C-alpha cells in the first residue's frame, strides 16, 4: 500500500537519537546501527500552536464546556506524539475565534514560530454545544486553511470531550502521515474496585471509567474484538476458567462454547475471524488453541508445558507469538498461525506478555532480564524489532511493569505498573516520553487497547 511504502522510505534512515541513548547501556555500536524500529512517529514534527478556543456567547454553559473542550483538545494534541507543541507562554495575547480574526504572521514569526495553528470557538445554544474549528498553515505565504470543521452535539461535558477528540483526530490524520488519530479509542482493563476483579473500560486518556462485566468471581485478560463490539476474557466459573464474551451492544455476556480444563488469555486475529487462547482441555497442561470467532472448531497448535498469552501478528495474522515455560522460566516464542515453524525469541531471564505492534514489526513484552532470587531490578517493558531481534528498554524506573498493549496508531503503549505503590494503568509514548497515570482507584491491571 502506498501509505506503507511512504512510511518505510521515510523511516529507513530514522535512527532516533533518543533510541540511541536508550540503547547505549547494553547494545554494541554495530547493533545500534542495525536498529530500525519503525514507530511511525515521523522525523519532522510540525510545530503546532493550539490556543484555547474562544467562548462564543454568554450562555452560562458555554464557558465551562469550552473549558472541557480546550483541556481535552490540548491533551489529545500534546499526547499524539507527532507534534512539537508551541509553549503557551509564547502565544500572542489574543487568539482568533474565527478566520476573519486571524493574523497568521504573529503566529508564524518568532517567538511562537508555529508551523500550523488550530483555533476556533465553542458556544451553547438551546441545549446544544456547537464548535467551529480550523487548522491553518501559518508559515507559508497566504496562510492556507488546512481544515475547517463544525460540530453540534448535546451540551454535556461528555459531548464536549467527544468533539475535542474528533477534531484532534482530524488534525492528527491530516498532519500525521495519514494514520488515524486515537482520541476516540478505548482501553479495557481489569479492576478490583467493585470488590472483585471485573473488566472495565475507559477512554484512551483515562476518562469515563466504567464497569462492564459482572461475573461476580474473577474476570481476567480482556481482549476487545477488532470491530469493537465484543470483549473476550477469561472468567472463573464454579469449577473451571472459561473464555467468555461480553457484548458491548447488549451489555451482557453471550454464549461461547465451554471447553474442558481451564481456558485463559484469549486473543483476536485482526480480521475478527479467529480467537487464539490457552487451554488445558487436551493434556491437563496449558497449550495454545485457535478457534473460530464463534468458539467453534477449536484446534491445538502448540504442545508445550505451560503455554499461555498468544497474540496474532495484526498485520498479517500469519504468525502467533506466545509465552512458554517449556524450558523452565517463561520465554517468548513465535510460530506460524498453523502451529509450524516454532522459533524461540528470548533466551534469558523471565519474559512474558508479548504484544505485537499494529504494523507487525515490533514485539513489546515484559522482561526481567537478569533473573534469580536475590537479583535486584524489576520487570520492565521492552520493545523488540522482530526482524533483527534487537531490543530497546522502554521503562526504567524499576518496580514491576507488565502487560504492554499498543495503541491503534502504533505510537503509544499502555501497561500496568506498581510504580505509584499499587498496580495501576499507565500510558506512554513509544519513545518512552509522556508517561502518565490513567487509573487511581483500586488495583488495575492487564490493559488492552482497542483496534481503532
**Integer Cα distance of 188 and 406 in angstroms:** 12
| Single residue of 39, 311, 366, 394 touching other proteins by CB under 8 A | 366
Residue with cell 476516540: 184
**Integer Cα distance of 322 and 156 in angstroms:** 43
Nearer to other proteins, 246 or 403 (CB): 403
**Is there a cis peptide before residue 111, judged by omega within 30 degrees of 0?**
yes
Least distance between other proteins and beta carbon 111 (Å): 49
Least distance between other proteins and beta carbon 370 (Å): 15
| Single residue of 32, 67, 240, 422 touching other proteins by CB under 8 A | 240
| Single residue of 165, 197, 223, 411 touching other proteins by CB under 8 A | 197
Stretch 201-230: interaction string toward other proteins, x if CB under 8 A:
-----------------x-xx---------
Q: Are strands 241-247 and 230-236 parallel, antiparallel or unpaired?
A: antiparallel
Q: Are strands 412-417 and 274-279 parallel, antiparallel or unpaired?
A: unpaired
Stretch 397-416: interaction string toward other proteins, x if CB under 8 A:
-----xx-------------
Using the rule CB under 8 A, give the single segment among 4-12, 72-80, 108-116, 346-354 that binds other proteins: 346-354
Nearer to other proteins, 175 or 352 (CB): 352
**Integer Cα distance of 150 and 121 in angstroms:** 10
Element (H, E) at 180: none
CA nearest neighbour of 448 among 80, 194, 200: 200
CA nearest neighbour of 118 among 57, 185, 164: 164
The answer to whether residue 424 forms part of the interface with other proteins (CB under 8 A) is no
Least distance between other proteins and beta carbon 314 (Å): 19
Using the rule CB under 8 A, give the single segment among 18-26, 151-159, 259-267, 435-443 that binds other proteins: 259-267
| All three cell numbers of 29 | 555500536
Nearer to other proteins, 83 or 241 (CB): 241
Q: Are 300 and 310 in contact (CB under 8 A)?
A: no
The answer to whether residue 91 forms part of the interface with other proteins (CB under 8 A) is no
For residue 33, with 0-12 CB atoms within 10 Å meaning exposed, 13-18 middle and 19 or more buried, which class applies?
A: exposed
The answer to whether residue 328 forms part of the interface with other proteins (CB under 8 A) is yes
Residues ≥6 apart with Cβ < 8 Å to 340: none
Q: Is the CA virtual torsion 294, 202, 408, 235 positive or negative?
A: negative
Nearer to other proteins, 61 or 265 (CB): 265
The answer to whether residue 236 forms part of the interface with other proteins (CB under 8 A) is yes
Q: Are 134 and 120 in contact (CB under 8 A)?
A: yes
Q: How many residues of this chain interact with other proteins, rule: CB under 8 A? A: 37
Q: Helices 157-175 and 62-79, interaxial angle, to 10°?
A: 30
Least distance between other proteins and beta carbon 412 (Å): 22
- State which of positions 147-166 bind other proteins (CB under 8 A): none
- State which of positions 47-76 bind other proteins (CB under 8 A): none
Least distance between other proteins and beta carbon 271 (Å): 24
- The footprint of other proteins (CB under 8 A) covers 197, 218, 220-221, 236, 239-241, 261-262, 264-265, 278, 280, 284-286, 305-309, 323, 325, 328-330, 350, 352-353, 366, 373, 379, 402-403, 445-446
Amino acid at each position: 500500500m502506498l501509505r506503507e511504502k511512504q512510511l518505510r522510505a521515510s523511516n529507513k534512515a530514522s535512527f532516533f537519537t533518543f533510541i540511541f541513548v536508550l540503547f547505549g547501556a547494553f547494545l554494541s555500536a554495530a547493533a545500534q546501527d542495525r536498529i530500525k524500529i519503525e514507530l511511525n512517529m515521523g522525523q519532522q514534527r510540525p510545530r503546532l500552536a493550539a490556543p484555547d478556543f474562544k467562548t462564543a456567547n454568554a450562555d452560562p454553559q458555554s464557558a465551562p464546556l469550552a473549558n472541557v473542550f480546550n483541556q481535552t483538545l490540548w491533551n489529545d494534541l500534546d499526547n499524539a506524539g507527532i507534534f512539537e507543541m508551541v509553549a503557551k507562554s509564547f502565544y500572542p495575547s489574543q487568539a482568533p475565534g474565527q478566520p476573519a480574526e486571524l493574523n497568521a504572521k504573529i503566529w508564524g514569526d518568532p517567538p511562537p514560530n508555529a508551523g500550523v495553528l488550530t483555533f476556533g470557538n465553542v458556544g451553547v445554544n438551546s441545549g446544544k454545544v456547537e464548535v467551529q474549528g480550523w487548522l491553518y498553515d501559518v508559515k507559508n505565504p497566504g496562510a492556507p486553511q488546512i481544515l475547517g470543521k463544525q460540530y453540534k452535539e448535546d451540551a454535556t461535558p461528555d459531548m464536549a470531550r467527544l468533539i475535542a477528540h474528533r477534531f484532534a483526530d482530524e488534525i492528527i490524520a491530516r498532519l500525521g502521515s495519514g494514520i488515524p488519530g486515537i482520541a476516540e479509542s478505548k482501553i479495557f482493563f481489569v479492576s478490583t474496585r467493585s470488590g472483585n476483579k471485573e473488566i472495565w473500560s475507559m477512554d484512551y486518556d483515562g476518562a469515563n471509567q466504567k464497569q462492564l462485566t459482572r461475573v461476580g468471581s474473577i474476570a481476567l485478560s480482556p481482549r476487545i474484538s477488532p470491530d469493537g463490539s465484543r470483549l473476550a476474557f477469561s472468567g472463573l466459573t464454579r469449577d473451571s476458567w472459561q473464555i467468555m464474551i461480553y457484548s458491548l451492544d447488549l451489555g451482557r455476556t453471550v454464549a461461547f462454547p465451554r471447553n474442558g480444563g481451564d481456558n485463559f488469555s484469549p486473543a483476536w486475529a485482526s480480521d475478527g475471524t479467529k480467537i487464539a487462547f490457552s487451554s488445558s482441555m487436551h493434556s491437563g497442561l496449558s497449550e495454545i488453541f485457535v478457534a473460530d470467532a464463534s468458539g467453534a472448531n477449536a484446534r491445538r497448535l502448540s504442545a508445550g508445558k505451560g503455554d499461555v498469552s498468544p497474540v496474532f501478528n495484526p498485520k498479517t495474522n500469519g504468525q502467533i507469538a506466545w509465552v512458554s515455560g517449556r524450558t523452565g522460566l517463561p520465554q517468548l516464542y513465535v510460530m506460524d498461525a498453523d502451529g509450524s515453524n516454532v522459533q524461540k525469541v528470548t533466551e534469558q531471564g523471565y519474559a512474558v506478555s508479548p504484544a505485537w505492534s499494529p504494523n507487525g514489526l515490533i514485539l513489546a513484552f515484559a522482561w526481567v532480564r537478569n533473573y534469580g532470587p536475590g537479583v535486584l531490578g524489576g520487570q520492565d517493558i521492552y520493545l523488540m524489532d522482530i526482524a533483527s531481534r534487537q531490543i530497546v528498554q522502554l521503562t526504567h524506573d524499576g518496580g514491576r511493569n507488565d502487560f504492554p498493549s499498543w495503541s491503534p496508531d502504533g505510537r503509544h503503549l499502555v501497561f500496568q505498573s506498581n510504580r505509584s505503590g499499587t498496580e495501576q494503568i499507565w500510558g506512554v509514548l513509544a519513545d518512552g516520553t509522556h508517561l502518565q497515570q490513567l487509573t487511581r482507584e483500586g488495583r488495575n491491571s492487564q490493559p488492552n487497547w482497542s483496534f481503532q
